[in-house]
Structure 1
């Protein structure tokens, strides 16, 4: 089995590429939605969040999102504490999920913060989905009904896109050109065991 990580910044089309792979029959693990699920269901996360923020962080089976957000975004240290609780559990859950699909030739982990969270440690290859900045801003404004300044602030808080591309094994460029040939090249390269910058799906 090959475990493939997909990442990309806001508006890059990362989730769209993951959906295309899902439509081809490959199982996709979305770390964002799974982290939200685990913050409710995982006993280790619940215990550590209660120790950190008090029992009011939960209301029955619901997370007190305003309380968590106020703490999380107050300082970088606070965010790091939350991430140190959640991300290891997400990693373990992904590995269990992948192990249950041991007969699959390929499974996909989708994460906007793949490098920042250390998820590259649990995948074999990483694909960065890249789009020019102006396209990313336009897409995010339309999708989220945000202003250009709001989108730019969110982009500035993420890892630099060029750095993500330089660290990736493959790059898919989503600037309006066809994605299907790029994904075909990606799957062919993975089947042949080719990785590294020389095997990029598309050069920028």
Structure 2
């Protein structure tokens, strides 16, 4: 079973690409979604997060994402601290996911910070999703109710597309939905036949 890393900058459309692989019945692990779930359900993680970021980290026993985001997106050290608390738990969870799907031809491992946190080392092949900057900004403003400045600040903190593309085995440029489907299908067939 191969692990196929799927990454791309914020607003590039990697979640849409992940869903297209799911439609092809490929087991797909969305690291961000799983991390949020673990942060909401693991008592051990809750304790560590509250200890390091304060009682406001949780509201009504649920992760207060806005509160935490305001802290970590404005302080690189705090972001690294949060990642050092959360990533080991997500990694353990992903190992179980891999074990449960070991008989599949391949699985998709979607992770926005695949290269930044070293998860690319877990992957046999890597797909990078790109999109024009204006489209990305527009999508994130619509999705997160953010301002253009907030989106640009988040983009600025991510690894540039050029570097991701250099490290990729496949690059999907997200322009139209029909093109996207064809590109995913082409990669899917190549992965099944290699």
TM bin (shorter chain): 0.7 to 0.9
For structure 1, the residue ranges without an aligned partner over 5 or more in a row are 194-204
Q: Distance in 1 between matches of 2:61 and 2:145?
A: 30
Number of the residue aligned with 1:180 = 181
What does residue range 12-161 of structure 1 map to in structure 2 within 5 Å?
12-53=12-53, 57-58=57-58, 61-65=61-65, 67-161=67-161
CA distance in 1, matches of 2:140, 2:70: 24
1:147-195, Cα deviation, whole Å (9 max, x unpaired): 43333222112111111111112111112371233223312332343xx
Q: Runs of at least 4 residues of structure 1 off by over 4 A? A: 54-60, 64-67
1:178 partner SS = helix
Distance in 1 between the 2:76 and 2:192 partners? 40
Q: CA deviation at 1:35?
A: 0.5
What residue in structure 2 maps to residue 202 of structure 1? none
Q: Shift of residue 145 of structure 1?
A: 4.1
| Higher RCO, 1 vs 2 (CA within 8 Å, ≥6 residues apart) | 2
Residue pair 2:4, 2:125 contacting (<8 A) in 1 also: yes
Give the drift of 1:50. Answer: 4.0
Q: What's the Cα RMSD here?
A: 2.3
Bigger drift between 113-122 and 19-28 goes to 113-122
Q: Aligned residue pairs: how many?
A: 193
Contact 1:5 1:110 in 2 (8 A): yes
Q: TM-score, normalised by structure 1?
A: 0.82
More helix per residue: 2
Give the Å deviation of 1:70.
Answer: 4.6
Q: Of the two, which has the highest radius of gyration?
A: 1
TM normalised by structure 2 equals 0.86
1:27 and 1:108 in contact (8 A); partners too: yes
